[in-house]
Amino acid sequence: MVTPDWVTLRILLATADLGSITRAAVRCGIATSAAAKRLQMLEAECGTPILERGPRGVRLTAAGQAVVRHGRSAFSLMARLEDELRALAEGGLGHVRLHATASCIAGHPLPEALERFARARPGIRVELQEDTSLRILQDLLEDRADLGLVTVAGPLPPGLEGQSWREDRLLVVMPAGHPLATAASLTFDAVLDLPVIGAVEAGALALLLEEQAQRRGRPLPYRFRVAGTDAVRRMVAAGHGVTVMPDGVARPYEAALGLHGVPLAEPWAVRRLRLVARPAGLLSPPARLLAAHLLSGRSPPADAPRAE
């Protein structure tokens, strides 16, 4: 059984960062010979080399990468424990790292839910970070987030569990005076006949649209691709093309920008948003409390399962 001590783990992580045992030893305040000895003993415990040594420094083997990955997780867990103990000593209850997509934040009452949670649990600090769905899943796997709100459909990576939180509906957004603005709904084939404005950072939605276009053997007819949803709305309002975005992100801006959203008539246009995390037994008490609070206000479709 491999049980490296914290000093050896710290030396290995520094070596991985710096590519040099000598520089790692300086960072850790230990003699180079002692650092090298500790790493050799760790390799003996592992039964396989963890470093490839060369004239220009060292690099991790596959085994070394595994040890470093779990070592970083271990240090992260210890840091979280220290934070929570410090918070408890100060009369608080710890903190939670919540990562969410832009559509989950802007298109749904997440800010209001977090405000209610802050009033109910003033000792718990929630760190909210916006990102794309795929990066959020990676953050959860690598312990950079405790909870994630994502729009990714299909199976989740091993080690993560998801529960239905809310849903959104995709709209074809265009200027209110557009010839198609009076349509009751539009197919995706109709969208592919129009100039499209896309968001570079749209994440799961961009992948979904690309996938559906590929299934039809057609490219997405981008006229412009801009950084985020606010820029997309402005370009559409100026008449450069149409876009596809969730109703919660489009509807609040229709009157102010002269836009109109027409429902996209496709089975995949209703998206299920999920709260994703590691199994409940691995979550800190503050993370479990926040998850329960968010799920208490969920509104899944009537025919959707309550959990996965």
The pLDDT assigned to 300 comes to 44
Whether 187 and 266 have beta carbons less than 8 Å apart is answered as yes
- Output the CA torsion 53→54→58→64 (10° steps): -40
Q: Which residues contact 56 (CB under 8 A, 6 or more apart)?
A: none
- Digitized pLDDT (tens) for each residue of the chain, 308 residues in all: 567 788 999 999 999 999 999 999 999 999 999 999 999 999 998 889 999 998 888 999 999 999 999 888 888 888 877 776 666 554 457 889 999 998 899 889 999 999 999 998 888 899 999 988 889 999 999 999 999 999 877 899 999 999 999 998 999 999 999 999 999 999 999 999 999 999 875 577 888 899 999 999 999 999 999 988 899 999 999 999 999 999 988 999 999 999 999 999 999 999 999 999 999 888 888 899 999 999 997 654 433 333 33
The C-alpha atoms of residue 253 and residue 67 are separated, in whole angstroms, by: 49
The pLDDT assigned to 207 comes to 85
The pLDDT assigned to 303 comes to 39
Residue whose entry in the numeric block shows the structure tokens 């690598």: 142
Q: Which fold has domain 6-84?
A: Arc Repressor Mutant, subunit A (1.10.10)
The C-alpha atoms of residue 161 and residue 154 are separated, in whole angstroms, by: 12
The pLDDT assigned to 239 comes to 96
- Strand pairing class (259-263; 161-175): antiparallel
The pLDDT assigned to 1 comes to 56
DSSP letter string, 167-192: EEEEEEEEETTSTTTT-S-B-HHHHT
The C-alpha atoms of residue 198 and residue 205 are separated, in whole angstroms, by: 10
Burial class of residue 83, CB neighbours in 10 A (0-12, 13-18, 19+): middle
Give the residue ranges of DSSP H helices in the chain.
6-18, 21-28, 32-46, 62-89, 102-106, 110-120, 133-141, 188-191, 204-215, 229-237, 247-250, 254-257, 285-296
Whether 228 and 102 have beta carbons less than 8 Å apart is answered as yes
Integer-rounded Cα radius of gyration of the chain: 24
The pLDDT assigned to 307 comes to 33
Per domain, the residue ranges of the chain are 6-84, 92-301
Instruction: Quote the crossing angle between the two packed helices 6-18 and 21-28, to the nearest 10°.
Output: 130
How far does Cα 253 stand from its chain's mean position? 25
pTM over 0.75: no
Whether 55 and 62 have beta carbons less than 8 Å apart is answered as no
- Determine the CATH number of domain 92-301: 3.40.190.290
Residue whose entry in the numeric block shows the structure tokens 């424990």: 81
Q: Provide the CB-side half-sphere exposure for 48 (13 A, CA).
A: 10
The pLDDT assigned to 88 comes to 58
The pLDDT assigned to 245 comes to 93
